Structure 1
Amino acid sequence: MPDTLTWTVPFGVGGGTDVWARFMSHWVGESLENHPAIVINNVPGGGSITGANLFYSRARSNGAEMIVTSASTQYPAMLKDPRVRFDYSRWTPIIAAPTGGVVYAQSSMGDDPKKVLEHLRQHETKFGAQTPTGLELPILLAFDMLGLQVDPVFGMRSRGEGRLAFERGEAGIDFQTTSAYFSSVTPLVKSGQAVPLFSLGVMNDDNVIVRDPAFPDLPTFSELYLAQPGTSRDDMAYQVYHKFFASGYALQKLLLVPKDIDASMLETYRDAAKKLAKDPEFLEAARQRIGPYDPVTGDVAARQLEAAMQMSQERRQWIVDWLKQKHDIRVVTQ
């Protein structure tokens, strides 16, 4: 077992993925028998593509090198962005961190979620967004699939900036992941400014989206969509949504190693991850950071990653066409 592990983080220092990696490095190091030192190597650029490409081309299979990725890395690979030179099928997950999130609206539209949703089907409102091909892609799909008249304003530098636009009344609807929702949106709900509409839910071991334990009283987007007449899980739009939800939220943060590392070393890493997933001290610390979500490890993580990243040409073309039609965004694919 190497005495030092190097984790490539294809993002800058201080971002969400970097914070997660530094948090996890302590716990992973402690869970391994030889307590290796873990060095974080930040390689930002290209929305994480630069660092991921570099890792893919240079990482050795000696077990000493790992990469931490997020939705911003998964989505370009799924869309076959021509800048992508890495292949997730050549990497194996050690541990994954899911997250959830909530869509909420201005209470001036009504104090009941059903009334607010009906209002949004009849009246256009703004949504402060970052990019149509980033973490907000499933959210934009959800708005359209529910028939909501949402006009995204792209260019926000963060989801926090989008929330501030909501607080100033410049946006009528917003979305935040669980940790940000608890810290920054719950006060808005309590003060009567915001009304939660639905959560994204979480993925169970059978790859089915179910209610989020952090928001057990909120319906999921899936529930709302499938309650509409004539809809089903077999709909192309729902299948595409499910793919991007799985890779962007059910597996939002991933720690991976090259697939061809020694089998016994891979088993050692996976055993350490499984041990962590049952460690009450780790789970409590993780819940303070990302909400009440159990980490995904071992074969379950591998199965979910494989299922999420396998994007048929038909589905890929559907989302490319949808982005052009709905948002006038031209996505170039390989």
Structure 2
Amino acid sequence: MPNASKTCRRICRWRTSLSVALWVTLLAGWSAPGLTQANFYEDKTIKLLIGFSAGGISDLWGRALARAMSQQIPGRPQIVLQNMPGAGSLTAANFLYSVAKPDGLTLGFFTPGLFFNQLIGSKEVQFDWAKFAWIGSPEQTQRIIYIRADTPFKTIDDVRAAVEAPRCGATALGTVGHYFPRLVEEALGVKFNLVLGYPGAAEIDLAMEKNEVQCRAGSLEGYFGSEPSKSWAKSGFTRVLISGGAKRDKRIPEVATLHEWMNKRKVSEATRRLATVLLAPDHIGRPLATTPGVPPERLKLLREAFNKALLEPDLNAEARKRGWEIEPVTGEELEAIGRKVMTQPADVIERMKKILAN
């Protein structure tokens, strides 16, 4: 029986070693980065900075995403919103990049044209656009200029022939209210009198109602998807002058695109390249980002939660009700676009500096 006893002891030691190994493996799995990051958000609060005043379409999108994403992030953290308008959302972008901690607990929602400010060397910029940690964008957009219908301007040709240019309200340099009218001026030989300095969309809308300004640039999605422009379109208070889309939109089939006007006027190839850069924000849409340096596993969780949020029935119901078209851009795609748009020829940057200087 001695041999049997030794065999028994060997089996017992093997079983003990196996048990220890299994426990080590399980403990390692439990402390894996993915699970650790998932546990990170439990009982936490995420702050979502909205670089716009309350009530506009970007603010509404931010609130819809906050509700949907909080249910999709492991640990179901609360997402609280903080409106941080200023300099066309530049204030929010600067804060997210330079002040917020890189822990994945601060997100930002700001205008997609802010990278122009960096390209032209604006001293107010405190970020590197390509280094933001991009989460995603819920929709792509189309630029438009719309104007009060009681003005004599029915087409771009009317604006070109005007003795006095129509006044268009905008918040700041680098916003759609600024860069799209400037692009139309440069490409089509027209003139708008831009009035900068409004805090946000709500204030520009009020100025249009008071006839302080007659026009403004924005997105087609916002025009038909938020108030008061949605009601203005139905009542005929305003009309769209021009769009930046690749083709005419079915909602405004009578409105010619910038590309049609450029073809009609036979603009130079250099101007077309400039237009391609200045219309790039349409492909970025409404970008959601977090701070550079956030742990990769945490960024992955946020991107996955964003993608799942766009499939949420409640969010889709709200989108249908408001007339939004969900056309997402993934975080990975925004990352690639961010690198691409920041690499521009010197001649394009010089022309951008000239037309975006004021």
TM range (shorter): 0.7 to 0.9
One-letter amino acid matched to 1:139: P
Give the distance between the partners of 1:52 and 1:174, measured in 2 at CA: 23
Q: Does 1:7 align with 2:47?
A: yes
Q: Distance in 2 between matches of 1:108 and 1:59?
A: 46
Does the C-alpha gap of structure 1 residues 279 and 86 become closer, same or farther in structure 2, counting only changes over 3 Å?
same
> Where does residue 198 of structure 1 map in the other structure?
242
Deviation by residue 1:304-330 (Cα, 9 ceiling, x = unmatched)? 333334444432221222345xxxx3x
Which residue does 1:122 correspond to in 2?
161
Cα 1:253–1:108 shift into 2, 3 Å: closer
In the alignment, the residues of structure 2 paired with residue 31 and residue 243 of structure 1 have an alpha-carbon distance, to the nearest angstrom, of: 35
2:284 paired residue number: 251
As a proportion of its length, which structure holds more strand? 1
Check the 8 A contact 2:182/2:355 in 1, yes or no: no
Distance 1:187 1:63 in 2: 38
Q: Amino acid of the residue matched to residue 166 of structure 2?
A: K
Q: Which amino acid in 1 is paired with 2:258?
A: F
1:271 aligns with 2:291: no
- The Cα offsets for residues 157-195 of structure 1, whole Å up to 9 and x where unpaired, read as 544554555555565544343355234345555555544
Aligned-partner residue type, residue 159 of structure 2: L
State how 1:291-330 maps to structure 2 within 5 Å: 291-323=324-356, 329=358
> Is contact 1:126-1:170 (8 Å) kept?
no
* From 266, 291, 299, the counterpart of 1:230: 266
Aligned 8 A contact 1:126 1:153 in 2: no
Are 1:28 and 2:64 matched, yes or no? no
2:182 touches 2:356 (CA, 8 Å); kept in 1?
Answer: no
Contact kept? 2:133, 2:292, Cα under 8 Å: yes
Q: Which residue of structure 1 lines up, in the alignment, with residue 181 of structure 2?
A: 139
SS class of match (2:279): helix
The answer on whether the counterparts of 1:101 and 1:175 sit within 8 Å (CA) in structure 2 is yes
Work out the CA distance in 2 between the residues paired with 1:260 and 1:276: 24
Partners of 1:65 and 1:47 lie apart in 2 by 19
- Change over 3 Å in CA distance of 1:28–1:82 after alignment to 2: same
Given that 1:178 and 1:290 are in contact with CA atoms closer than 8 Å, whether structure 2 keeps it comes out as no
- One-letter code aligned to 2:184: A
Query: Which residue matches 1:67?
Result: 108
Deviation at residue 59 of structure 1 after TM alignment: 4.2
Equivalents in 2 of 1:47, 1:172: separation in Å? 20
Q: Distance in 2 between matches of 1:110 and 1:58?
A: 47
Match of 1:206 in 2: none
Partner of 2:256: 219
Change (3 A) 1:216 1:298: farther
Taking the aligned partners of 1:121 and 1:185, their CA distance within structure 2 comes to 25
One-letter code of the match for 1:118? D
- Do the aligned partners of 1:104 and 1:198 also contact (CA within 8 Å) in 2? yes
1:187-206: CA deviations, max 9, x gaps?
555555544332232xxxxx
User: CA distance change for structure 1 residues 224 and 291 in 2, over 3 Å: closer, same or farther?
Assistant: farther
Verify the 8 A CA contact 1:274 1:298 in the aligned structure 2. no
**Of the candidates 275, 278, 284, which is equivalent to residue 241 of structure 1?**
275
Unaligned segments of structure 2, at least 5 residues: 1-37
The 5 Å alignment of 1:94-133 reads 94-97=135-138, 98-105=140-147, 107=149, 116-123=155-162, 124-130=164-170, 131-133=172-174
TM-score after normalising by structure 1: 0.74
Gap regions ≥5 residues in structure 1? 202-208, 330-334
Name the CA shift for 1:41/1:143 in 2 (closer, same or farther; >3 Å).
same
What is the count of residue pairs matched by the alignment?
311
Question: How many angstroms does 1:78 deviate by?
Answer: 3.3
- The verdict on how the C-alpha distance between 1:142 and 1:8 changes in structure 2, with shifts beyond 3 A counting, is same
Conserved in 1, the CA contact under 8 Å of 2:53 and 2:201? no
Rounded Cα–Cα distance in structure 1 between residues aligned with 2:100 and 2:335: 20
* Compared CA separation, residues 164 and 306, structure 1 to 2 (3 A): same
| Structure 1 residues 101 and 214: alpha-carbon distance in aligned structure 2, compared to 1, 3 A threshold | farther
Q: Does the Cα contact within 8 Å between 2:183 and 2:278 map onto a contact in 1?
A: no
8 Å contact from structure 1 (residues 10, 52) kept in 2: no
